[in-house]
């Protein structure tokens, strides 16, 4: 297993300790501080999380009301109100349904790949059709191949009762015909990440002390310069460098304590229906800490699977989710209970956001440097619809997206959004994604 890192290796230790070995070398240090100040936002990595919940939603109870910046969240999205200024709701996106397979199969396989399912007879659809596995790489893996090269894990796939190896239960692909299995067992994921995690706290504290020693040395020289230089212009420049040093110091102080080994999940039966909420929260906690410890910068959390028949008894819904979602729109029982199911998933999204927001990083939190994308394989369960597919973007996205917006489109391909995710994660040259994509560029108005 790869060596464990308890702090972000891109932090300024290299520049500080190698470039600032002596206080007498102050002239070359001042330009370095300019670079330090300019590079400060990049000292913390940008992360991507994909979330999935199944069987569509009820658009009338999901879509916000109001305008782009003065919108009101719907019943289903209401748990996310505390993060309204860190969210973008995307309405009106459609998913291409070209190629083999039924609605659920296509929805699951195309959601993050924008590529047709392969021809095949491995999986028989509910409408008499058949299909093979997904036909292309998923956007998380495409991004991970670029941003995941410096971490022990290129990506991590978390699951909650996702079922066996079928096209209905796989949303991430390393390439065509290469599905990636999510890990459903929190204990197995804990063992994978932390069982042999080598935490040398004394060594890390030594590194912090070395950093602080250099920071104190440089601050002393700058304080002395500030006293000796009477020019207002020089004093402004020196004060700016002092402010930069303070920012470095704050990151140094906050860096090591953030990564901690979480408690072991214990003997939870991760396959028991009524343990679904417990497993969801355990996986969210592990996901949050895996990002904080810089084990990965790309992760996903898949709640159940397409055609999920989870019984959300804890939300007052004893019926199977898929069965209930296929009842007619005139059935008030379906409306109330499908709303309750999707409301519950919004609460789970909030739980993950709370976990990320609680972990300090610089002047903010891990959430500020994370882009979370919540999607579904269908628009509505009883129609197997492909538009509008519900998407919500959350987090700070490292400042690369203007959050706090409700964006409405007229049946724009969801491939445009996938291209925009690439742009947000630094893959600025990306113009198309997937073999169903007939357009070019990102989603208008998003980035």
Tell me the per-residue pLDDT of 313-339, one tens digit each, with 9 for 90 and over: 999 999 999 999 999 999 999 999 999
In a domain, 100, yes or no: yes
> Do residues 186 and 334 share a domain?
yes
| pLDDT given at position 187 | 95
Model confidence over 137-165: pLDDT tens digits? 999 999 999 999 889 999 999 999 999 99
Burial class for 361, CB neighbours closer than 10 Å (0-12, 13-18, 19+): buried
In a domain, 445, yes or no: no
Alpha helices in 63-194 (DSSP H): 103-110, 139-147, 186-194
| pLDDT given at position 394 | 98
Task: Report the alpha-carbon distance of residue 276 to residue 63 in Å, rounded.
Answer: 26
Top-confidence range, 27-36, 123-132, 326-335 = 326-335
Task: Specify the higher pLDDT residue, 15 or 274.
Answer: 274
> Do residues 65 and 32 share a domain?
no
In a domain, 171, yes or no: yes
> Do residues 232 and 184 share a domain?
no
In a domain, 447, yes or no: no
> Do residues 189 and 54 share a domain?
yes
Long-range Cβ contacts of 317-324 (<8 Å, 24+ apart): 317/341, 321/54, 321/55, 322/54, 322/55, 322/381
| pLDDT given at position 364 | 92
| Among the ranges given (83-97, 231-245, 395-409), the one the predictor scored with the smallest mean pLDDT | 231-245
> Do residues 337 and 251 share a domain?
no
| pLDDT given at position 28 | 39
| Among the ranges given (109-113, 221-225, 359-363), the one the predictor scored with the smallest mean pLDDT | 221-225
Model confidence over 91-117: pLDDT tens digits? 999 999 999 999 999 999 999 999 999
Confidence band (pLDDT; 50, 70, 90) for 177? very high
Q: How many CA atoms lie within 13 A of 446 on its CB side?
A: 29
pLDDT of residue 278 exceeding 70, the answer is yes
Burial class for 357, CB neighbours closer than 10 Å (0-12, 13-18, 19+): buried
**Opening angle at CA 344, ends 338 and 347, nearest 5:** 150
**Domain count of the fold of the chain:** 2
In a domain, 441, yes or no: no
> Do residues 242 and 278 share a domain?
no
| pLDDT given at position 207 | 58
Task: Report the alpha-carbon distance of residue 160 to residue 176 in Å, rounded.
Answer: 24
In a domain, 430, yes or no: no
> Do residues 100 and 193 share a domain?
yes
pLDDT of residue 16 exceeding 60, the answer is no
pLDDT of residue 15 exceeding 70, the answer is no
> Do residues 148 and 296 share a domain?
yes
Assign residue 91 the CATH number of its domain: 3.40.720
> What is the domain range of residue 239?
13-42+200-258
> Do residues 136 and 181 share a domain?
yes
pLDDT of residue 433 exceeding 70, the answer is yes
| Among the ranges given (48-62, 109-123, 215-229, 278-292), the one the predictor scored with the smallest mean pLDDT | 215-229
> Do residues 242 and 389 share a domain?
no
pLDDT of residue 203 exceeding 60, the answer is no
> Do residues 76 and 174 share a domain?
yes
pLDDT average, residue stretch 346-374? 95
Task: Report the alpha-carbon distance of residue 35 to residue 87 in Å, rounded.
Answer: 31
Confidence band (pLDDT; 50, 70, 90) for 395? very high
pLDDT average, residue stretch 371-392? 96
In a domain, 191, yes or no: yes
pTM, to two decimals: 0.82
In a domain, 122, yes or no: yes
> Do residues 174 and 219 share a domain?
no
């Amino acid at each position: 297993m790869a060596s464990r890192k308890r702090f972000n290796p891109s932090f300024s230790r290299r520049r500080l300790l190698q470039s600032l070995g002596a206080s007498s070398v102050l002239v070359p240090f001042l330009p370095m501080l300019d670079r330090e100040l300019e590079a400060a936002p990049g000292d913390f990595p940008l992360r991507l999380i994909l979330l999935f919940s199944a069987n569509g939603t009820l658009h009338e109870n999901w879509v916000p009301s109001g305008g782009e910046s003065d919108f009101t969240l719907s019943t289903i999205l209401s748990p996310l109100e505390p993060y309204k200024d860190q969210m973008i709701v995307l309405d009106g996106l459609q998913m291409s349904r070209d190629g083999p397979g039924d609605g659920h199969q296509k929805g699951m396989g195309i959601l993050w790949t924008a590529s047709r399912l392969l021809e095949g007879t491995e999986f028989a659809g509910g409408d008499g059709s058949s299909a093979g596995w997904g036909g292309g790489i998923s956007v998380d893996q495409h991004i991970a191949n670029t941003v995941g090269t410096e971490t022990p894990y290129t990506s991590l796939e978390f699951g909650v009762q996702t079922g066996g190896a079928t096209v209905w239960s796989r949303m991430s692909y390393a390439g065509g015909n290469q599905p990636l299995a999510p890990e459903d067992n929190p204990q197995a994921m804990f063992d994978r990440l932390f069982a042999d995690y080598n935490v040398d706290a004394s060594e890390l504290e030594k590194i912090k002390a070395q950093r602080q020693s250099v920071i104190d040395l440089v601050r002393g020289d700058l304080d002395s310069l500030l006293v000796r230089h009477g020019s207002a212009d020089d004093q402004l420049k020196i004060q700016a460098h002092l402010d930069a040093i303070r920012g470095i110091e704050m990151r140094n102080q906050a860096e090591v304590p953030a990564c901690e080994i979480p408690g072991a999940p214990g003997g939870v039966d991760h396959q028991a229906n009524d343990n679904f909420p417990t497993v969801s929260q355990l996986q969210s906690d592990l996901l949050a800490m895996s990002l904080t410890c810089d084990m990965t910068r790309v992760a996903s959390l898949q709640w159940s699977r397409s055609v999920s028949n989870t019984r959300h008894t804890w939300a007052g819904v004893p019926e199977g989710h898929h069965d209930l979602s296929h009842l007619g729109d005139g059935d008030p029982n379906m409306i109330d209970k499908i709303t309750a199911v999707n409301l519950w998933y919004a609460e789970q999204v909030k739980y993950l956001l709370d976990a990320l927001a609680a972990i300090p990083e610089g002047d903010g939190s891990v959430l500020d440097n994370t882009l979370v994308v919540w999607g579904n394989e269908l628009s509505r369960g009883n129609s197997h619809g492909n538009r509008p597919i519900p998407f919500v973007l959350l987090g700070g996205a490292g400042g690369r997206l203007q959050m706090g917006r409700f964006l409405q489109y007229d049946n724009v391909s969801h491939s445009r959004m996938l291209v925009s995710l690439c742009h947000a994660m630094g893959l600025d040259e990306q113009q198309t994604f997937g073999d169903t994509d007939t357009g070019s560029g990102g989603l208008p108005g998003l980035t």
